[in-house]
Amino acid sequence: MAKGMREIKRQIKSVQNTRQITKAMEMVASAKLRKAQDKAQASRPYAEKLKEVVSSIAAGSSDARHPMLVSRPVKRTAYIVITSDGGLVGGYNANLLRNTIEFIKERHSSTEEYGLFVIGRKGRDYFTRRNLPVVQSITELSDTPKFADIKSLAYAAVQGFELEEYDEVYLCYSKFINAITQKPTVDRLLPFESVEHDGGTAEYEYEPSPEAVLSVLLPKYAETLIYGALLEGKASELGAKMTAMGSATKNASKMINELTLTYNRARQAAITQEITEIVAGANAQS
């Protein structure tokens, strides 16, 4: 019985140590989540202004057409998939990758019909193990990534569309709703058929011409949207980690309570047994 009680005490101590770790990780994720949300919100005004200018040019000049604004027959598609580098994020990666694979399988019958640009070690390893066509990958990003960190990948994907290596480009990421909810999302990035002019923006004069300005702005706008999706993904990742560590902490507390109850019962049984043995011994001597 004493051996069993010692084992239970070791289990309680082990779970208490685990709870301290998960609680600390939850607090760290919560602090980083606020920073990630602030950074995602700070990037939106630039993207919105860029969209306003692009839509103004596209609507104001019938000659200002660009390959990024025109659909063409789809022979090959590029997918930019944004996952995390590490684990302990609940179902964040599993849900995103499952949603992405289902979308790809519905549209393609062969791996020659698409290419994958992957951000995050979890996504890269997932696709590599399944021998899927990973064109380029980036890993080991910080929790507050800069555009420079993904510039080469974003440029390669956008240029691939401009050079007609790909006829469509999709963004696969988790859209941040709140700390508890992250929505796996697949958005078409290119071509920009959805860029519309609402008629409420100012009139601009362009030098040397609207066409020349559009040819510079559209690739930058596409890269900005990729970066925005990355920031959404980071906020979702940290929200998922905070939620997962919070659940782990609660489960650890519940386990400690159950083990403590078991220990107290075992201790009570041991005391009762000792008392019974003493009484039995006293009765035998009388």
For 143-170, what is each residue's pLDDT tens digit?
A: 889 999 999 999 999 999 989 999 999 9
11 located within any domain: no
**pLDDT (0 to 100) of residue 184:** 95
Confidence of residue 1 (pLDDT cuts 50, 70, 90): low
Confidence of residue 228 (pLDDT cuts 50, 70, 90): very high
168 located within any domain: yes
**pLDDT (0 to 100) of residue 60:** 60
| Mean pLDDT rounded to a whole number for the chain | 87
**pLDDT (0 to 100) of residue 20:** 96
82 located within any domain: yes
**pLDDT (0 to 100) of residue 64:** 53
**pLDDT (0 to 100) of residue 193:** 66
Per-residue pLDDT tens over the stretch 49-79? 887 777 777 666 555 567 788 888 999 999 9
Which residues constitute the domain of residue 228? Answer: 27-243
1 located within any domain: no
202 located within any domain: yes
**pLDDT (0 to 100) of residue 269:** 82
Q: Looking at residues 37-50, what average pLDDT do you find?
A: 83
**pLDDT (0 to 100) of residue 226:** 93
Count: domains in the chain: 1
**pLDDT (0 to 100) of residue 71:** 86
262 located within any domain: no
Q: Looking at residues 201-218, what average pLDDT do you find?
A: 74
Phi, psi of 205 (to 5 degrees): -110, 135
Q: Residue 63 maps to which CATH number? A: 3.40.1380.10
* 40, pLDDT greater than 80: yes
250 located within any domain: no
* 102, pLDDT greater than 90: yes
* 199, pLDDT greater than 80: no
Q: Looking at residues 102-124, what average pLDDT do you find?
A: 95
Q: How far apart are CA 81 and CA 123, in angstroms?
A: 7
Q: Choose between 45 and 155: higher pLDDT.
A: 155
223 located within any domain: yes
